Structures are given as structure tokens and as C-alpha cells.
A and B are shown apart, each in its own frame.
Chain A
Amino acid sequence: MTRVRIENLVRSYGAHAVLKDISLDIADGEFLVLLGPSGCGKSTLLSAIAGLDQVQAGRILFDDRDVTRLEPSAREIGMVFQSYALYPTMTARANMAFALRVVGASRAEQEERVRWAADLLQIGHLLDRKPGQLSGGQRQRVAIGRSLVRKARLFLFDEPLSNLDAKLRTEMRNEIKALHERLGVTFVFVTHDQIEAMTLATRIAVMDAGVIQQVDTPDEIYRRPATRFVADFVGAPAMSFLEGELVAPDRVRIGENTVAVPDYAWRSAPRTGSVVFGVRPERVSVAPVPGTATVAARLRGIEPHGADTLVWAELSGQRLSARLTPEAAAGLPQSLHLDFEIEGVSLFDPDSGARL
């Protein structure tokens, strides 16, 4: 049970700043996902929390105790790596008991803890095998088991599912979520996969270029992205972005078209001028006849995805996509009348990228 408090963390390799003044609070028992593209600093941040990487400035507190300079072993954490990192010459049992062995715990205690973790993960029958004799999913289970055997107060996961195939990934995802609910301890989980982030997290911290862009619930991240980067990174198919101009507090002009944004939830007082108009593809629909709220667009292409169909359209020279049912997408004419639901619209400042 650990509250994690990160204050103004800075880490750079030479001239390259990987973490730029990161501050983050993680509540007790939370499942926090660090989400971002590769190179955004999320793994470095996790390493810093683990104590595997020294930081140049800032503090890390576990329950108000400053652990910034403590060795990983003194932080009472469990960690699971993408590559599993099982000790190849040891059996699964010895791998799991390793942490207790190095501190000189009794055989009985080792056996008891390993047994407990093995039961929890249903890997009791694998204990005498070496990592080379285990499948990817089994290795990952043993690796999780190894992190459980120590009585850790905080669990760190560094892209643990990336090496698994799609089906197994879904399965392990559910298991990790169930594990979190069962143990009730704090989890910090690094991934670049937004589905993992959305399904697992109680809160997501989206990172880019060494900066946390937004920390929020998955729902908030998706519906009200704080920056254009977050809006673009989260969501598949991705949000469409159109350059426009706010001509009145409730109207955006895009080329020769005007889109009404009557009930938009403004973060700050609306100011006229250029804006980036973002819209989620599933919140765009095609109207059969032009209406007062529709805008004219040209059909540019159709991508069937099975469950739904992505329709590409061009609006005043800018491309956007609409996610329609296959039936709605069938037999569309060349000239379309698009309708935007205000819940799917986000407006951003074109310079700072911040949500308006």
C-alpha cells in the first residue's frame, strides 16, 4: 500500500533531456498507466521510481518517505519486465524464491511464499521447469509470480505484454487487472498500447517528449484530451484535425464552411482567431440531405474494418474520417453532408496545442 509522490524529476543523458521536470501523484491502490510513444520517457520514469536509474534533480516519495537515493531493493517494490528477465539457469521455483534467498530467508518461508504466488497465478505445475521450457505466457506468469513473492508495496510493470501474441495479451491483461483488484496495492504500468491503458487504468498519464501531457481517468483522456498530442495519440482510428477559425463563440469557419459548436465546454473564455478543430470519427455522421448544421464534403475513400467502415472525406481541402456502420457507408454519393456531434469535438490552440 503505497502513495507515490514524484516532485520535479529531471533526468537527461548528456544534452538529451528524457524527463523534464516531472511531477505526479499516485494514490494508494491506484492502477496508474504511463502511456506514450517510444522515447517519450515513460520507461525512464518507471526506472526512476524503481531506483534503477538515478535522477539528476527532484524527489520521489513513497508514503512521505524520500526514496530518491535508495537502492531498488530498499524500496519494497516488485517489477515485471517486457523481456521477462527470468534467470535462465534457474527453475521457475528458484526464480521466484530468488529475492527471499538473497536476503537469507528460511527454506520453509521461501516455499510458502512461492506456493502462495504460484497458486494465485495457477503456475504450480510449472515450478520445476526452467525458463527455456516455458512458453511466452508462462514465462510472463512466472515473472509476475517472482515480483509477488517479495511482500512488495508497489508493483511496476514495464510493457509486460508487448512480447505476447494478441490473444494471450488480452488474457494476461485481464489477469493483471484481476490481480490488482485482489491485491489492492498500487500498480504502475508502462505501455504504448492505448487499449491496454484504457482497459487497465484507474488513471492514465499520457507522456510525450519527457513531459506529462495529461493525467486523468481513461474516459476523460478520451473525451476531453488536454492537448492535441493526447487527442491524436489516444483513439483508433485517430481523431481528425482541421484548421479553422473561430468567428464567433459558437461558430468555427473551416474554409468556406461554417461549423456550429453551440454547446462546446470551453476550458477558458472563448476568443476568436485560428483554432484546430478536432473530431472523433465515430462522432461524424453522414446526413441524407443538407441541413442547417451539416457541412458539405467530398468522398475520398472507404476502408472497411469489418465491424465498421471508415469513410474518408475532404472538407475545404482538408481530410477527415467518419466511422460508420457498413450499411451507412454503402453506396455513398460523391458529395456528402457531414454532421458533427458536439461530444466528439475538441478545439485546440494551434500554437500551444492546448485544449480551448
Chain B
Amino acid sequence: MTPAGRAGRIGLYLFLVTTALFFAIPLVIVVLTALKDADEARGASIFLLPRSPDLEAFSKAWSSACIGRDCNGIGGRFWNSVVITALATSISLLLASLNGFALALWNLRRAGLVLGLLLVGAFVPYQIMIYPLVRMFAVGGIHQTLAAVVIVHVLFGLPILTLIFRNYYVGLPPELIKAARVDGAGFFQIWRLVILPLSLNVAIVAGILSVTGVWNDYLLGLIFSGQNWQPMTVSVASLSATASSGVPEQNVNMAATLLTALPPLLLYLLSGKYFVRGVTAGAVKG
């Protein structure tokens, strides 16, 4: 390598490392602060290492921190998030797979038009639809219930997930469907027996997108979930707005934040390969 090339390479790494550090700053502060006790967290600089690091703040955040008048921590809300995410993701994956199959492999009239509408759907901002949805749920009597929050997540997730499934299915040989039709299988039989078993890879990709999207959501959870099914993200916001003893417990807030962010963080780490595929899945055919 020439000296100029080496210098360029060093510069490149310098830039990457600096950028990575810059983006890591908030995470570092969260971790450092969560390991301190309340006084230290309030007093010292946020960049100082904790004097005697412990997990006190985490256990308090999980089981005894006060959210409004309810002092049971965010542990219970964790399970709310798990239930919402699991339901919303599994329902939307199934529906997206079915839609994608119909769009890609069934001779659907105006499949192109439907696809175009889906693309529009994938990019319409949520905010436009919130008020009408609230009215609809209120009229239907399910406003601020588990059903309501799951339904909105499924609705908002479907366009992009359908596109991902559709793009994957377009790459399957059409003879597969023809053979199954000759064999006498109907639409749902072909989907269930031939297509679904082939969908594991794309389901992982779409599943990651869906899980992170639903888990990290704040706005829809805030509006549609109601008290009983409040997800973790909303609880963390309420938690940090509650100062039970008059002074904010920054270490507990940070610990709660970290606990909330942990599942998607772990998901990214464990499935980086698939996640990259998921990001490109909508753009690249196949």
C-alpha cells in the first residue's frame, strides 16, 4: 500500500471511530449513570465512572419505582410490551405472508395497482390516521384495550411487511404454484402447505423489523393501549416524569431506559446479518 493510500485508510478509520464514539455517547451515559447511586448520579459529572457500581437502580426500576401513584416498577409493563409485540408481530407476519403470496404468485387482477397503494400506505405518516382510528375504536367500544393497540400495530406494519414478503415470493418459481394447482390444492392450501414452510428466512427478516418497530413505538402505545396495557416505552416516559421524593432519581430513570431498550438492542446484536437483509429487502428484488 502506498503512503498516500495508508494515510487515507488511517483517516477513514479515524472518522469511523469518531463517528461510532459520537453515537455511543448517549448509551455510555445511560450505562454509567444507571450503575451509580442516586446522589452520585445527581452530583457528579455524567461522564465520571461510578465509584461503587451496583445494580440497585435496575432492581428498583424493575420492581419498585413509582410511575404516578403506582410504585411497582416497570417490570409489569415489560410483559405488556411482550404481549403486544408478540401478538402484533405474529398476526402481521401471517397476514403479510398471505397478502404477499396473493400479490406475487396468484394471478390477481390489478396486482400492480394494489402494490402501488401499499407503497403509499408504507409512507403515509401515522399522525394523519390517529384521530379517525380513535373515533372508530371508540365507536366499536374497544378504545384503549389490548385489541386496539394490537390492531393499530398490525395495520401500520402491514404495508411494508407485505412488500417484503411479496418481493421474496416473486423470486419463487411460478411452476411451484402451477404444480400445486394441478395437484388440486386451493389458494389457502397452497399458502399453508407450500408457501409458509418456505418463508422462514423472510419471516425472520420481517419479524425483526416488526418486533423492533412495535417494541420501540411510543406514540401508538400512548394513545391506544390504555392503563392496563401500557407498554414499557410509555411507562419509562411516565417514570421519568414522576419524582416521588421530590428529587429526580436519574440512576433509576436511566436503568429503566436501558431495560426498555435492551430487547431490541439484543435482537440487533444477535441478528445483525438478518437485519441488514431486512433493511434492503424492500429495495432489492428477491
Could you tell me which A residues sit within 8 Å of B by CB distance?
47, 50, 52, 71-73, 77-79, 81-90, 98-99, 101-103, 146-147, 150
Residues of A contacting B197 with CB < 8 Å?
A: 89-90
In Å, the complex CA distance between A83 and B182 comes to 15
In Å, the complex CA distance between A83 and B174 comes to 10
> Is A98 a contact of B183 with CB atoms below 8 Å?
yes
In Å, the complex CA distance between A110 and B179 comes to 18
The 8 A CB mask of B146-181 against A (1 = contact, 0 = none) is: 000000000000000000000000000101101111
Contacts A81-B175, A81-B179 known; 5 new A-B pairs at CB < 8 A: A86-B179, A90-B197, A98-B180, A98-B193, A99-B183
In Å, the complex CA distance between A338 and B90 comes to 78
Q: How far is the CB of A103 from chain B (nearest CB, A)?
A: 6
Is B49 an interface residue when CB atoms closer than 8 A count as contact?
Answer: no
Q: How far is the CB of A87 from chain B (nearest CB, A)?
A: 5
Please report the number of residue pairs spanning A and B whose Cβ atoms sit closer than 8 angstroms.
64
In Å, the complex CA distance between A222 and B194 comes to 44
Residue of B nearest to A52 (CB): B178
Q: Which of B175, B181, B183, B193 contacts A146 (CB 8 A)?
A: B183
Could you tell me which B residues sit within 8 Å of A by CB distance?
173, 175-176, 178-186, 189, 193-194, 197-198
In Å, the complex CA distance between A79 and B182 comes to 7
In order of increasing CB-CB distance, the 7 nearest A-B pairs are A73-B184, A85-B175, A99-B183, A89-B197, A85-B179, A81-B175, A102-B185
Q: How far is the CB of B188 from chain A (nearest CB, A)?
A: 11
Residue of A nearest to B176 (CB): A85
In Å, the complex CA distance between A146 and B182 comes to 11
> Is A71 a contact of B183 with CB atoms below 8 Å?
no
Q: Which of B178, B186, B193 contacts A85 (CB 8 A)?
A: B178
Q: How far is the CB of A161 from chain B (nearest CB, A)?
A: 15
> Is B184 a contact of A99 with CB atoms below 8 Å?
yes
Residues of B contacting A81 with CB < 8 Å?
A: 175, 178-179
Residues of A contacting B184 with CB < 8 Å?
A: 72-73, 99, 102-103, 150
> Is A102 a contact of B193 with CB atoms below 8 Å?
yes
Q: Which of A52, A83, A89, A103 contacts B181 (CB 8 A)?
A: A52
Residues of A contacting B183 with CB < 8 Å?
A: 73, 98-99, 102, 146, 150
> Is B182 a contact of A52 with CB atoms below 8 Å?
yes
In Å, the complex CA distance between A103 and B184 comes to 7
> Is B176 a contact of A87 with CB atoms below 8 Å?
yes
In Å, the complex CA distance between A88 and B185 comes to 16
Residue of B nearest to A75 (CB): B182
Residues of B contacting A50 with CB < 8 Å?
A: 178, 182
Most B CB contacts (10 A, CB to CB) among A52, A82, A147 go to A52
> Is B179 a contact of A88 with CB atoms below 8 Å?
no
In Å, the complex CA distance between A83 and B193 comes to 19
A79 touching B193 in the complex, CB below 8 Å, given contacts A73-B184, A99-B184, A102-B183 = no
Most A CB contacts (10 A, CB to CB) among B175, B181, B197 go to B175
Residue of A nearest to B190 (CB): A102
Residue of B nearest to A102 (CB): B185
> Is A77 a contact of B185 with CB atoms below 8 Å?
no
Most A CB contacts (10 A, CB to CB) among B178, B180, B181, B182 go to B182
In Å, the complex CA distance between A72 and B193 comes to 18
Residues of A contacting B194 with CB < 8 Å?
A: 87, 89
Residues of A contacting B180 with CB < 8 Å?
A: 87, 98
Residue of B nearest to A89 (CB): B197
> Is A85 a contact of B173 with CB atoms below 8 Å?
yes
In Å, the complex CA distance between A88 and B194 comes to 8
> Is B198 a contact of A72 with CB atoms below 8 Å?
no
Residues of A contacting B182 with CB < 8 Å?
A: 50, 52, 72-73, 77-79, 99, 147
> Is A83 a contact of B189 with CB atoms below 8 Å?
no
Residues of B contacting A82 with CB < 8 Å?
A: 175
In Å, the complex CA distance between A147 and B181 comes to 12
Q: How far is the CB of B44 from chain A (nearest CB, A)?
A: 58
Q: How far is the CB of A94 from chain B (nearest CB, A)?
A: 9
In Å, the complex CA distance between A73 and B183 comes to 6
In Å, the complex CA distance between A73 and B193 comes to 16
Residues of A contacting B178 with CB < 8 Å?
A: 47, 50, 52, 72, 79, 81, 85
In Å, the complex CA distance between A201 and B234 comes to 73
